[in-house]
Chains A and B, each alone.
Chain A
Amino acid sequence: AQSVTQPDIHITVSEGASLELRCNYSYGATPYLFWYVQSPGQGLQLLLKYFSGDTLVQGIKGFEAEFKRSQSSFNLRKPSVHWSDAAEYFCAVGGRAGGTSYGKLTFGQGTILTVHP
């Protein structure tokens, strides 16, 4: 079964500092990987996705993520954090055809980002 682990429950950074949110996945093949962001009481917004090809993917709001097959990781990065980036971030893996998780999105537990001025 596919699974996603986000090791950091809560991260605090200062505005302007760089950010890296960790995500590790467990999947039998090359996964479909996503990062979503959720502001309090709101829905989820897609930041970026990885399906294949270039392992460094660019997303919205200045975010990027790097797929590392050898480490089963898909970490999210941003070079300079803004106060408006404070939110909860979810990493997710989508099941491929032929598997029991086909059509399902499996989320990590989320990382809450706090930004200090």
Chain B
Amino acid sequence: DTEVTQTPKHLVMGMTNKKSLKCEQHMGHRAMYWYKQKAKKPPELMFVYSYEKLSINESVPSRFSPECPNSSLLNLHLHALQPEDSALYLCASSQDNGGLYEQYFGPGTRLTVT
């Protein structure tokens, strides 16, 4: 099973709301990633977790807060977002956090901030 699942598929939130995105994988992978993708652009790396510890934060604003409760789960907590944060948020996982390990992507959460 090479599936990464993400919930919800779509999310609309106001600028004062607090919401969370969820990502799950059961492949035994030890690295998990959050990406942000705007229309007609490549994915941009936001965070990397390796062995449940945050290993890379690409200078993401604090209104995005990642959490890795266990090796299979990755959350992204959202608070006080801006309209420009509207995008497709992709989760990915890989066997380990190294360049040679291919990443498996989930279908994404389409986020709209109003």
Residues of A within 8 A of B (CB): 31-32, 34, 36, 41-46, 49, 51, 90, 93-97, 101-105, 107-110
**Distance to closest chain B CB from A81 (angstroms):** 21
Residues of chain B lying within 8 A (CB to CB) of residue A96: 99-100
Contact A104 B45 (CB under 8 A): yes
A42 to B101, CA, bound (A): 21
Determine whether the beta carbon of A46 is less than 8 Å from that of B104. yes
CB-CB under 8 A from B99, the residues of chain A are 31-32, 93-97, 101-105
Q: Chain B interface (Cβ within 8 Å of chain A)?
A: 4, 6, 31, 40-43, 45, 48, 50, 55-56, 88, 90, 92, 97-108, 110
B42 to chain A, nearest CB (A): 4
Chain B residue, CB-CB nearest to A93? B99
Q: Report yes or no: A108 in contact with B42, Cβ–Cβ below 8 A.
A: yes
- Evaluate whether A42 and B108 lie within 8 angstroms (CB atoms) in the complex, with A104-B56, A109-B41, A110-B42 already known: yes
Would you give the shortest CB distance from A9 to chain B, in whole angstroms?
9
11 sample A-B contacts, Cβ–Cβ < 8 Å, listed by A number: A42-B107, A43-B105, A46-B104, A90-B42, A94-B99, A96-B99, A102-B99, A103-B98, A104-B56, A107-B42, A110-B40
Question: In the complex the two chains form, is A97's CB within 8 Å of B98's CB?
Answer: yes
A32 to chain B, nearest CB (A): 5
